[in-house]
Structure 1
Amino acid sequence: MSTAKALAEAGHNVTVVSMMKPKVMHKDIHLIVIPVTEEQQRSIEEQMAIMAGRKNSVLDTMSRFLNSLDVMIDSQADVLTDPRFLRIYETKFDLMILGYFLNDFQLAVAAKLKVPVILDGLMPPNFITDAFAGNPSELSYVPHMATIATQPMGFLKRTENLALHLFSKYMSTILESKLNHNYEKIYGGDKNLPSLKELRKNITLVFTGSHLISEGPIRPLVPAIIETGGIQVKDKPDPLPEDIGQFLNKSTQGAVFLSLGSNIKSSTVKPEIVQIIFKVLSGLKENVIWKWEDLDNTPGNVTNILYKTWLPQDDILAHPNTKLFITHAGKGGITESQYHGVPMVALPVFADQPGNAAQMERSGFGLALDLLTITEDSFRQALKEVLENDKYSETARKFSTLYRDRPLTAKQTVVYWTEYVLRHRGAPHLQSPAVHMSFIELNNLDVYTVIASIVISFLLLARLVGKFLWSKLFAKANTSAAKKNQ
């Protein structure tokens, strides 16, 4: 939505199709909301509650998306046949920007509209976007998103990296089957559409939520990958709602901001963990703003805690009295906190969050704890350390300076490259040749096969010649010896 808003502010005619009412909007955006059904919403919330009560690696989460959470994929397919969506085919468009979340089948929309595609995602470059853009993975020194490693990686980390990459590829084949099933279900009867594999070759650019110069890891990026990390951060904070603004303004000893994101509701966290968090926060001298969805059933009422169902995260982090962010370690939240120079205590839940938290801690921006095993003492000590030790806030401030130092802001980058694609009618020249090569061609397997065949043929021929010459020499030697004995 921040991408859409930046384009609308630049004067473009933008239509947005969303499955929820967005928090970021612009008066000139034409919005079409097609929400999930009540049954789908209930299923998603149940699965999110389960994930909040257990440890979840990136690979666990990926597996869950293909099984019990596949409703998040199927619901995106349902959008494509909704009458509210089908009306878009009555309008002429020049470009489609696809917010990516395991929804490759939606690329068919661009094919039907006959427009190029820009993929837009919050994640940094990963094995999925690498495949879309033909970007080299470089397994020997680029850590997989499911691992934490310093560069250069040692033998064990490189081995782990390879294993994770191969497992991800295996999971991708299962995902491919799921995506193709949805694609065939919706568009199988349309003979004018190519295969899903061919549709992916229509992706011109991939916007990724990263700024590798400051965040790392250092890695190659083809021209088709454009970094837009921080796109959601406002150039100037919006005025805060009156109650939040007053609460922060009177927080003369500082304020702590707690949010576990939009997917995990605080009320789904185990009650005993919620009480641990409440007891510690209620004992702080700082005021606390806590994102809590059920205001009729809060953990407890104290004067230093303000509960709100929704919070303008970026604007709160920009307030000078905000001294600490307690976060689930989603990529967006960490980016905003780093941008505003606010140190963190991370309580990751699933997907990329544990990796983000570990990377954040290693970089010196704060501390990470296991949400499921925190105690009053460990949580209190973590807050005390980050709030009172200036090294965390100083590291965050230094990073903020580095993160902002770029030739174009994230919004300017989005507008420039979007208009570049429009000016050059899809700009296919930006694509890596790797996008249009088969696995065999891309990895030179045919060349290696020919070279190996030539070498093996030469060795076999040399062996045959050697045997032939040896037999002739041996026979000659035997003949000479026989004549000598006579």
Structure 2
Amino acid sequence: MAHQGRSFLTGTFACLLLGFFVIQSPAVEGANILGVFTSHSPSHLIIHMSIMKALAEEGHNVTVVSTTQPKVTHKSIKHIVIPLSAAEEKVISDGMTAMAKEKPSMITTMKSLFGSLSMLIYKQVDVLEDKRFTDLYKNKDNKFDAVVVGFFFNFFQVGLGARFNCPLILSWTGAPMVQIDDAVGNPELVATVPSMNVAVLPGHAMDFKQRLANFGSSIFFRLLGFYLDILNVQFYDRLWGKDPSMISYEEAKKNVSLAFCNSHAISEGPIRPNVPAVIEIGGIQIKNKPDPLPQDIKEFLDNAKHGAILFSLGSNLKGDHIQPELIGKIFEALSSLKQNVIWKWDDLKNLPGKSSNILYKKWLPQDDILAHPSIKLFITHAGKGGVAESQYHGKPMLALPVFADQPGNADKLVQAGYGLRIDLFTLEVDEFKGAIKEILKNPSYKTKVQQFSKLYRDRPMSARDSVIYWVNYVLRHHGAGHMQSPLVHMNFIARHNLDVYLLLTTILIVIALISTVVLKFCWRKCCGGKGKSQKTGQKAKVKKN
């Protein structure tokens, strides 16, 4: 009893102490926060808007500029949509169709991005020139305390911090990568930190082949970054080059306060050091408590006697991007299953086919559906957001990757034992059905992903709370420049110690040269004369003879 009494008193004291420090922490009144998300990717926007929703719920005044209507929002968020034209939408659709016909790889993705989809990069400049956006800073009554920028080949937008005279925060939809590392001075560790397209189990070292691939990937992204920086300078000058009040692009690059990354290294890997400005918020879009499902979806799942399957290839890839014969094979396989299937399909007037076990929906509350106990399998394109949601809810996956980071994500989930991967472009009915049945019948996939779910959920602070705390921290400390890595202010030569290595090499060369001269001198003094006299004597004898 005495022990219980002491425990109670200790716990009470700890709570009071915690409460004291919370009370002593400087409060942040409702700040004006601007979100600029111009990548025109619905899946990216879900991550970015989840950040802004958390800030709106905290009581901040949030304004968001994007090119599409968000699926995630909040009643108090002021939203400004600057949409693409019909012609621009067609260019994107044609680009997606082209990618859906090629074997997925980083090279094909980049080829499309800088070919038919290059408009996605240039359009982001147009958005910032639109009157609906420029009015935000030309109207002197507007004042923003922080700007959150969605990163996607648009580093010129770091100028928005200077434009609105406030701290700038980046939001990135994956784990830290080269451009994010550079923005906040995060160390790049090519030998130990695999890139998104190199699959390595958490805690495992890369073998030689993987390190070689990782080195090649690093060089590729460095060259890509060099090319993009040329564009970024042009875009920056186009937007603000004639404004004497604006700082240079090089100076603007050094003013990033935070980078929110949609990752959780402790569970997902890779284990690596991060500077304080890298804040991991993996799963920010996942709700602590699922919202009620639409009635038709709820009934469909509740009545699934043999369980249910969710099938979605994401928000960027639509049904008409995929060859009709391939769609026919997918329908044939899914319609023959005893499980109910929810299929994300955009054109509800032109369905792949009709089957009593298939429910087609144009838009799905994916996170809420995956939380339903009837879901036994998620057939996915292996986008980062969907994979994270499936892992959080402990649902095994069958991956059909198409482009970007999807092949790498698919390889990682297969390697971890969370599911299987098949090639969408060579898919056959029997192969597809066989993979589905293997995952449903073999409990190891479910067991492993549920074990991961426990790790993914086990955090000292939720993703939502991390967003709120660190944005408030930056607001309290006026950009929090004190925690910025010195690497941000160092050039390539300094950050890699090349000048130090050059100096040491020069010193060693000078020492070697001096040593050589001294040794030669000593040799001549000690042995040179004797040798010379012997040779002279020998010559004299020869002459006598």
With the length of structure 2 as denominator, give the TM-score of the two structures: 0.87
Shift of 1:409: 0.6
Shift of 1:208: 0.5
Structure 2 CA distance for aligned equivalents of residues 254 and 341 of structure 1: 15
User: Match of 1:59?
Assistant: 107
Write out aligned runs for 1:31-50 (5 A).
Answer: 31-50=79-98
Select which of 176, 179, 188 maps to 1:128. Answer: 179
Cα pair 2:148 2:168 within 8 Å, conserved: yes
Cα pair 2:197 2:409 within 8 Å, conserved: no
Matched, 1:464 2:517: yes
Cα pair 1:52 1:269 within 8 Å, conserved: yes
Cα RMSD of the aligned pairs, angstroms, is: 1.5
CA deviations over 1:174-213 (Å, ceiling 9, x no partner): 1222222222222221233233232121111111011111
Write out aligned runs for 1:379-390 (5 A).
Answer: 379-390=432-443
Which letter maps to 1:28?
S
Write out aligned runs for 1:101-116 (5 A).
Answer: 101-116=152-167
- SS of the residue aligned with 1:201? coil
Which letter maps to 1:116?
P
Structure 2 CA distance for aligned equivalents of residues 266 and 279 of structure 1: 15
| 5+ long unaligned stretches in structure 1 | none
CA deviations over 1:380-437 (Å, ceiling 9, x no partner): 0100011121111111211111110000110001001110111111001221111110
Write out aligned runs for 1:321-332 (5 A).
Answer: 321-332=374-385
Write out aligned runs for 1:422-437 (5 A).
Answer: 422-437=475-490
Shift of 1:446: 0.8
Write out aligned runs for 1:293-312 (5 A).
Answer: 293-312=346-365
Change in Cα spacing, 1:365 to 1:473, as seen in structure 2 (3 Å) is same
Structure 2 CA distance for aligned equivalents of residues 225 and 191 of structure 1: 32
- SS of the residue aligned with 2:260? strand
User: Match of 1:476?
Assistant: 529
Structure 2 CA distance for aligned equivalents of residues 482 and 359 of structure 1: 76
Q: Relative to structure 2, which stretch is displaced further, 180-189 or 443-452?
A: 180-189
User: Match of 1:83?
Assistant: 131
Structure 2 CA distance for aligned equivalents of residues 249 and 438 of structure 1: 59
Structure 2 CA distance for aligned equivalents of residues 133 and 57 of structure 1: 28
Cα pair 1:267 1:292 within 8 Å, conserved: no
Cα pair 1:340 1:397 within 8 Å, conserved: yes
Change in Cα spacing, 1:453 to 1:477, as seen in structure 2 (3 Å) is same
Structure 1 CA distance for aligned equivalents of residues 487 and 157 of structure 2: 22
User: Match of 2:491?
Assistant: 438
Matched, 1:18 2:71: no
Q: Relative to structure 2, which stretch is displaced further, 196-205 or 11-20?
A: 196-205
User: Match of 1:405?
Assistant: 458
Structure 1 CA distance for aligned equivalents of residues 498 and 378 of structure 2: 50
Write out aligned runs for 1:181-260 (5 A).
Answer: 181-260=234-313
- SS of the residue aligned with 2:398? strand
Shift of 1:29: 0.6
Which letter maps to 1:31?
H
Shift of 1:88: 1.3
User: Match of 1:160?
Assistant: 213
Shift of 1:483: 8.9
Structure 2 CA distance for aligned equivalents of residues 171 and 93 of structure 1: 32
- SS of the residue aligned with 2:276? coil
Matched, 1:145 2:145: no
Which letter maps to 2:181?
D
User: Match of 2:447?
Assistant: 394
Look at both structures and tell me which one has the larger radius of gyration over its CA atoms.
2
CA deviations over 1:29-63 (Å, ceiling 9, x no partner): 11111111222111011101111111131233234
CA deviations over 1:279-320 (Å, ceiling 9, x no partner): 010011111111111111111011111111111111111111
- SS of the residue aligned with 1:123? coil
Structure 2 CA distance for aligned equivalents of residues 412 and 210 of structure 1: 15
Structure 2 CA distance for aligned equivalents of residues 254 and 224 of structure 1: 43
User: Match of 2:414?
Assistant: 361
Structure 2 CA distance for aligned equivalents of residues 137 and 342 of structure 1: 33
Structure 2 CA distance for aligned equivalents of residues 417 and 471 of structure 1: 72
Select which of 304, 313, 316 maps to 1:263. Answer: 316
User: Match of 1:6?
Assistant: 54
Cα pair 1:66 1:175 within 8 Å, conserved: no
Which letter maps to 2:191?
S
Structure 1 CA distance for aligned equivalents of residues 144 and 464 of structure 2: 22
Which letter maps to 1:97?
V
Which letter maps to 1:33?
V
Shift of 1:324: 0.8
CA deviations over 1:120-164 (Å, ceiling 9, x no partner): 111111122111121122111211222223421122221221122
- SS of the residue aligned with 2:169? strand
Which letter maps to 1:139?
V
Cα pair 1:256 1:287 within 8 Å, conserved: yes
Which letter maps to 2:63?
T
Give the fraction of aligned pairs with identical amino acids, expressed as a percent: 49
User: Match of 1:338?
Assistant: 391
Structure 1 ranges of 4+ moved more than 6 A: 482-486
Cα pair 1:117 1:205 within 8 Å, conserved: yes
Structure 2 CA distance for aligned equivalents of residues 191 and 264 of structure 1: 43
Matched, 1:415 2:468: yes
User: Match of 2:170?
Assistant: 119
Shift of 1:65: 2.0
Structure 1 CA distance for aligned equivalents of residues 104 and 231 of structure 2: 22
Shift of 1:482: 7.3
- SS of the residue aligned with 2:439? helix
Structure 1 CA distance for aligned equivalents of residues 535 and 386 of structure 2: 93
Length, aligned pairs only: 486
Structure 2 CA distance for aligned equivalents of residues 84 and 483 of structure 1: 97
- SS of the residue aligned with 2:226? helix
Matched, 1:169 2:222: yes
